[in-house]
Structure 1
């Protein structure tokens, strides 16, 4: 009997502790909600100022074990959003299970104490109604977030499969699963996940049936905020296959498309560096394999403080543009103004004397590989003295040195142009003849203007520049002479053109 009473007492005591802890964590979460929403807005503004969006929350109701609220995404006051109209909003319903052991978390046998577990779903409103029509009334997004006592969050995001048909329009999507982890200060972010497949059928402005499909979309990586308030880290993304068909005929296919972007703070703790790698395993146009390509772009010696200043100015001026309806409502003017903002503030990015490297940009087919390599050392124009009165002086204010080389194998280029000619309707034999003449003519034209040379059946062009002196294909000259080679007044007459080849095959009748 006494043992039974003790057991009951323990259960009652645990119940009191559980109730008190749940009430406390619910209250703590409520007190931190404004801070968490504020951090999210700061991050959104830094990552995508042109979006013109703001997060807020409403209808917070705190209970003993559960709370609820809504998170609202709407256009920023006074700004024109690129995604939502002034009267539109996207609303998410949040159901919050209080810690230290939220019920939703226990269902997954996760016994790590946490402040809360939050389920997020989309709310059906006038803005999101078309999506709910496709999903037959279900939320397209279903996310489960664990909130730790440090404020760190771990979110599992599930995107609902879609299968929608309306006349000649069709949307199909396999669904997707993604995971996002953010630390308590919002400094470290990790994102990974995948979506297996998707399809969109529609009719374009010419009445043609267009189908786009994708397979195997994946992303994985993590970033953290540096001491310069800029994110550094690595993020990978890939698509196994992306295809476009018109009237049932496959027009273009991209296979093995990958992107790997990474950045870091250099050893001196003052500069940033970054690298972007792109690659395509195969580009097929109307069932013809046009080849594969890759690009490696590196940037180093970016002054961290200057980068931060550039970001602040660029973001502020971008938002100012969005606040002007005459600019924000005209995409062409908006893009032009953004370019002007970037160009006006670009000298800030040169403060650290950055280095840009392309090693390589290449395209490859069965007959060979064309490559372009570049090494460009830049200078801070603010460090220059005196007035720049000549082209050399103006260029030397921003360029310390340049070294570049282009190599195009004749056989590779001929094979590529043969395939292009066949796509235009030429028969294989005629396409090969036409391509051969085109590439030989291109090589002759390059030599005539001294822009290229021939080396081992390759079209080659190299250019170096430093301190007002240029070297083009081994020939030294001043910058003025180099500019003059491209047809400006005062240039020498080029040497006579080489002997012409036989006429190209006639174009096929359309």
Structure 2
């Protein structure tokens, strides 16, 4: 009997302590709400300044074990320019907080690790979101469960609901997605792991042709942190198991095993980036065109210059867009090129190792290394138009090698001819003629060599001198081969390259 009373007493003490601590956690969370909202608004202004959005909260109701409130995302009246949301439009999230140190939602899962709170978020059906709720059949399009520890990363599981929509000429089917996110308390470190099974878009295109675009097995993995230049550095991988295009029930193109890897790192003064793209297979109308890959790296990018470049580009692009809806992509391209010299401050190095395409007959490969120069530090005196060119003023060195197996090129060209409507025999003959023509042209211009049925080329440029397949040429002589440039105070280039260069037999 005494033991039972002691047990009941202990349970009462623990229950009282838990009740008091959960009440205190609810009060503490309410006190921190303003700070959390201010942090979120700072992030919106930093990453989406053109959006003109502002986050706030309202209807905070604190209970003993849980609290409820709403996050409101709406237009910022103090923001200038065109905004993403019109005045009066609201995007609302309904929030339910289970107080720590042992949130009830965690106890139900037999999780006894203490935490400050567990938050359940759900997009609310407001007039602005009504059309989105229609295609999710009334389910919340977006919801999340977040575990907020006393210290460490905030772990969230975000769910995007399946969607179905059908219009007069188009339809959409989306299987939904799951995103696992870990975010540090200061919001500087973020890890994402997202996946979706399928996405299908159907549309009636040209001549009422039924077109289907589908993606299968989509995954995204990302690890990023805020670096010393206030840029997000880290790794990211986007993978698509299968991507296809069908027309009137027939497959037009099928891409398999598409993987895009990106990396951005930093040293004391520089940023280094690497892009690794690969495609396991490409089929066009049932014909196997092979596989490809590209590994591109850019090193020695000046970190401060990159930050200035991004800021300047975003500001000019935003101003251009806000001038009206009829701006053209060329305008943004012009802005990009006008700001591009900033990126040359660190004398960056560009590498392609390799760009390759492989089919059943062999693999073609290009390797390229380019060292760039900041024009402001280039002390070379420019005496003529050629020396004032982009190449002479901004490029220090180029090294490039190219190899193309003739059998591989012939097979690829034959497949292209088949798609154009030629039969097998005609396609083979046409492909052989075109590849042989390519070989002959390469010999005439001394651009390529041919040994053991491998078309190859090597190119080296430095100090306005070129080594092309072991032949020394000045930059002027090289450009003169193609009649592209006639330097000042120089005789016109001969009409035929063969008058300037020895014939292949010499």
What TM-score, normalized to structure 1?
0.87
Q: What's the Cα RMSD here?
A: 2.8
Contact 1:453 1:459 in 2 (8 A): yes
Matched with 1:500 is none
Q: Report the Cα distance in structure 1 between the residues aligned to 2:143 and 2:395, rounded to whole angstroms.
A: 51
Query: 5+ unaligned residues in a row in structure 2: which ranges?
Result: 487-491, 500-506
Shift of 1:306: 2.7
Q: What pairs with 1:41-440 in structure 2 (closer than 5 Å)?
A: 41-44=41-44, 52=51, 54-64=53-63, 65-74=65-74, 77-80=79-82, 89-150=90-151, 152-165=153-166, 169-204=170-205, 206-266=207-267, 269-322=268-321, 324-326=322-324, 329-330=325-326, 332=328, 335-385=329-379, 388-390=382-384, 391-394=386-389, 395-440=391-436
Shift of 1:41: 4.5
Between 1:379-388 and 1:473-482, the stretch displaced more is 379-388
Cα distance, 1:315 vs structure 2: 3.4
Aligned residues: 488
**Runs of 4+ residues over 6 Å off in structure 1:** none
Contact 1:61 1:68 in 2 (8 A): yes
Q: 1:419 to 1:57 in 2, by over 3 A?
A: same
Q: Given the superposition, is the C-alpha separation of residues 119 and 165 from structure 1 closer, same or farther in structure 2, using an over 3 Å criterion?
A: same
Residue aligned with 1:445, SS: helix
Question: Is the Cα contact below 8 Å between 1:80 and 1:325 reproduced in 2?
Answer: no
Deviation (angstroms), 1:45: 5.3
Q: 1:259 to 1:10 in 2, by over 3 A?
A: same
- Distance in 1 (CA, whole Å) between partners of 2:414 and 2:121 is 54
1:199-219 CA distances to partner (integer Å, 9 max, x unpaired)? 222222542211112211112
Matched, 1:458 2:458: no
- Measured against aligned partners, the alpha-carbon deviations of 1:279-334 in whole angstroms (never above 9, x if no partner) come to 00111111111111000011111222332333333333344334x232xx2352xx
Q: CA deviation at 1:441?
A: 1.8
Change (3 A) 1:364 1:38: farther
| C-alpha distance in 1 between matches for 2:68 and 2:327 | 39
Structure 1 residues 58 and 47: CA distance shift in structure 2, 3 A = closer
Q: List per-residue Cα deviations over 1:124-161 (Å, max 9, x = no partner).
A: 23333222112211112221111122473111112223
Give the Cα separation in 1 of the matches to 2:471 and 2:272.
34
Q: CA deviation at 1:12?
A: 4.3
Unaligned residue ranges in structure 1 (runs of 5+) = 498-510
SS of match in other structure, 1:100: coil
> 1:242, CA displacement in angstroms?
0.5
Judged with a 3 Å threshold, the aligned counterparts in structure 2 of structure 1 residues 53 and 155 are, in CA distance, closer, same or farther, namely farther
Q: Report the CA distance between 1:453 and its aligned residue.
A: 3.0
Aligned position for 2:496: 494
Compare 414-423 and 299-308 and name the one that shifted more: 299-308
C-alpha contact 1:37 1:55 (8 A) present in aligned 2: no
What displacement does 1:9 show? 4.8
Q: Is the 8 A contact 2:53 2:85 kept in 1?
A: no
**For 1:342 and 1:495, how far apart are their aligned partners in 2?**
37
User: Secondary structure at the residue paired with 1:78?
Assistant: coil
Distance 2:308 2:263 in 1: 21
Which is bigger in relative contact order (C-alpha 8 A, separation at least 6)?
Answer: 1
Q: 1:9 to 1:321 in 2, by over 3 A?
A: farther
How far is 1:243 from its partner?
Answer: 0.6
> 2:127 aligns to what SS in structure 1?
coil
Cα distance in 1 for residues equivalent to 2:262 and 2:161: 28
Structure 2: distance between partners of 1:317 and 1:126? 34
Secondary structure of the 1:127 match is: helix
Instruction: Give the 3-state SS of the residue equivalent to 1:357 in structure 2.
Output: strand
Q: CA deviation at 1:463?
A: 2.0
> 1:42 deviation in Å?
4.5
Change (3 A) 1:119 1:430: same
Rounded Cα–Cα distance in structure 2 between residues aligned with 1:398 and 1:356: 13
Task: Give the Cα–Cα distance (whole angstroms) in 2 for the partners of residues 46 and 277 of structure 1.
Answer: 28
Over 3 Å counting, the alpha-carbon distance change for 1:290 and 1:493 in structure 2 is same
